[in-house]
Structure 1
Amino acid sequence: MATKRQQTMAKLTRERNVKEKRERKLEKKRARKLAAAEGGEPMVEVDEFGMPLVQVDEFGMPLVVSDESLATSTDD
């Protein structure tokens, strides 16, 4: 069984992680709104590893991506 201090520190860590995640989400939302208001380029949302999730247009609607754009080129 964990000590009271360990439980408290674990709880604080979880709460801090949730708060940071919410802040990142809010920043992304604000950036999308700003880009849409400026008529900016379609945005590509990425996960924490930098991989694209969904490409969206200036209205936040997902764009259809063809299979050709997903194919990787082989330089053999």
Structure 2
Amino acid sequence: MPFPEFDPVLIHLGPLPIRWYALAYVAGIVLGWWYASRLAKTERLWAPGKPPVTGPQLDDLVLWITLGVILGGRFGYALF
């Protein structure tokens, strides 16, 4: 079975190509953020009724995770 031929670039926005894997990263981060916020808001999941994280704390966590994914990917690409 031959390797399927498809363009790795989804669209070009001027000189900036948007690739399919970038869309997957964005979708994964946004869906994970949404799911984590839904879990944090579900009070019956937490023993005393108070979730272990607030909305702003979760937002900060997602920001740092996103930076870690981007920087870790760049470091991994440069080192290996």
- With the shorter chain as reference, the TM-score category is 0.3 to 0.5
- TM-score w.r.t. the length of structure 1 is 0.43
TM-score by length of 2: 0.41
> As a proportion of its length, which structure holds more helix?
2
